[in-house]
Chain A
Amino acid sequence: GAVVSQHPSRVICKSGTSVKIECRSLDFQATTMFWYRQFPKKSLMLMATSNEGSKATYEQGVEKDKFLINHASLTLSTLTVTSAHPEDSSFYICSASTSGSADTQYFGPGTRLTVL
């Protein structure tokens, strides 16, 4: 089956530093990748939609300059949390889609970010 990986799985950083999270589709090409944020005991919140070779589309309320998304190839998307602060601590999950429908969306295992 389709596998999506994320790296790192956990990261702890100091306030003010930037952190990059990678999302890779291992055995398929993903024209679209999605980035979600999950707060403790809460649902997933879609942050942005990333299409290969074009700018990401951010959801309302998500700061573009804070959460930089790059989808450089059909198998890799990166999320960079710039100048991280403790309130950015969260579980970040990516998903990758092989087609134009929600039926074929595969999720990564998530990255736990803790900002001290």
Chain B
Amino acid sequence: GNSVTQMEGPVTLSEEAFLTINCTYTATGYPSLFWYVQYPGEGLQLLLKATKADDKGSNKGFEATYRKETTSFHLEKGSVQVSDSAVYFCALPFSGSARQLTFGSGTQLTVLP
């Protein structure tokens, strides 16, 4: 089945710093790829997604590009804010057209003022 490997944290940055969280995947075909964010004490929220190779997902200043050559979907943001402090999960479907998602281990981001 499909799997995802995510950069482990925790990551601590100062406000306005550049953020990269690495995510690489192993998959059959070219499934959709997702980044979810989990704020303290809350459930997951879809941050962005890309449905095919070379697509760029973006939301709230975050971006990730679906790169099939490197099987990667790294999350980036040019200038982080304190409010971005959360846990970020990379995810993709279990396999094929499965509805179930398999998640990376999560990366805790803390942004200091």
Contacts and interface: CB of A to CB of B under 8 A. Distances in A.
Given A97-B99, A102-B32, A105-B101, A44 B93 contact: no
Contacts of B98: 102
A43 interface: yes
B68 to A, nearest CB: 18
B42 A110 contact: yes
Contacts of A34: 99-101
A41 B99 CA distance: 24
A78 interface: no
B109 to A, nearest CB: 13
A68 interface: no
Interface of A: 4, 6, 32, 34, 41-44, 46, 49, 93, 95, 97, 100-103, 105-110, 112
Given A102-B31, A102-B98, 8 more contacts: A34-B100, A43-B103, A44-B44, A44-B103, A100-B97, A101-B93, A101-B97, A109-B42
